[in-house]
């Protein structure tokens, strides 16, 4: 399959929208915690997370890398931990709900179009794909619990617990209403984030002339994207690509796989690697000047 320029343009737009949504979500949660940062600082922290996720198994390096980016932007540790813990607590159920909705709506169709074909391929790929949704949900839950424990143990220099991600203002119901609005907006932006990542593969396949049903491709994209959370290789390299080429995405084309990898992993990780290199260079210059 040859991806047309309209597919590349649409995929690039989805990547940009995803970055905007995640940047806005991070700024909103930090502002609710009493910390204001610029768009540039939030964007740099998010692409650092993309870089950390791409080079570590099960994407475990993403949150530490983002936390480091926020610290370098001058955000105190308690507010970093509080905001990131709240983000995980909001994003996890949104992601699981979208995945469950895709399974309910298109699970049977995906199994007929892709699942049976994957099952016939050598190795445990079919069994792994069937278990991804359950295991990914468990991984999100563990990450959420870990973030909550970290938030509870983090204390400010005065000995108080770290600032909660949604800092209530005086006024009872008004404070609850403000907190609910922040959570609702963060949940909406999380849905945009998940939707953009899922939509990249369908638009690439559509522009390449693919005929697989959109529901099959959307569910396959969800499984392969969030299946990286439970793979022991960085960015799921190996298992994800084997599952894709076995037909798990509704297609088995190498060119389509490379394009999908570029937009879902390569661009964010590349930008994050550049930011990390710039930070490292700045750190070395500061050390040399002392």
pLDDT along the chain (290 residues), means of 10: 93 98 97 94 97 93 95 95 94 96 95 80 53 54 56 46 46 68 96 98 94 94 91 87 89 93 97 95 78
pLDDT given at position 266: 97
pLDDT given at position 125: 53
Residue 136 to residue 116: CA distance in whole angstroms: 21
pLDDT given at position 159: 44
pLDDT given at position 288: 77
pLDDT given at position 139: 53
Rounded alpha-carbon distances, angstroms, from residue 172 to 175, 176, 183: 5, 6, 17
pLDDT given at position 128: 52
pLDDT given at position 131: 52
């Amino acid at each position: 399959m040859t991806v047309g320029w309209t597919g590349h343009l649409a995929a690039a737009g989805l990547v940009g929208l995803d970055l905007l949504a995640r940047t806005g979500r991070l700024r909103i949660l930090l502002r609710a915690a009493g910390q204001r940062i610029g768009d540039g600082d939030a964007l740099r922290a998010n692409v650092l997370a993309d870089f950390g996720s791409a080079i570590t198994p099960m994407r475990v390096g993403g949150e530490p890398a983002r936390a480091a980016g926020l610290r370098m932007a001058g955000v105190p540790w308690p507010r970093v931990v509080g905001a990131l813990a709240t983000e995980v607590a909001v994003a996890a159920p949104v992601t699981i709900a979208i995945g469950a909705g895709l399974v309910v709506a298109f699970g049977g169709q995906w199994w007929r179009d892709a699942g049976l074909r994957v099952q016939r391929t050598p190795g445990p790929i079919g069994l792994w794909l069937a278990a991804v949704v359950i295991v990914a949900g468990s991984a999100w839950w563990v990450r959420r619990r870990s973030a909550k424990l970290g938030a509870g143990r983090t204390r400010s220099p005065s000995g108080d617990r770290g600032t909660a991600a949604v800092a209530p203002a005086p006024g009872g119901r008004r404070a609850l209403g403000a907190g609910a609005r922040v959570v609702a907006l963060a949940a909406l932006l999380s849905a945009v984030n998940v939707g953009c990542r899922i939509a990249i593969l369908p638009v690439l396949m559509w522009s390449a002339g693919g005929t697989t049903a959109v529901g099959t491709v959307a569910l396959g994209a969800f499984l392969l994207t969030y299946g990286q959370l439970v793979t022991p290789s960085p960015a799921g390299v190996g298992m994800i690509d084997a599952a894709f080429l076995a037909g798990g995405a509704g297609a088995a084309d190498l060119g389509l796989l490379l394009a999908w990898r570029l937009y879902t992993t390569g661009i964010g990780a590349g930008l994050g690697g550049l930011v990390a290199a710039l930070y490292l260079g700045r750190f070395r210059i500061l050390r040399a000047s002392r």
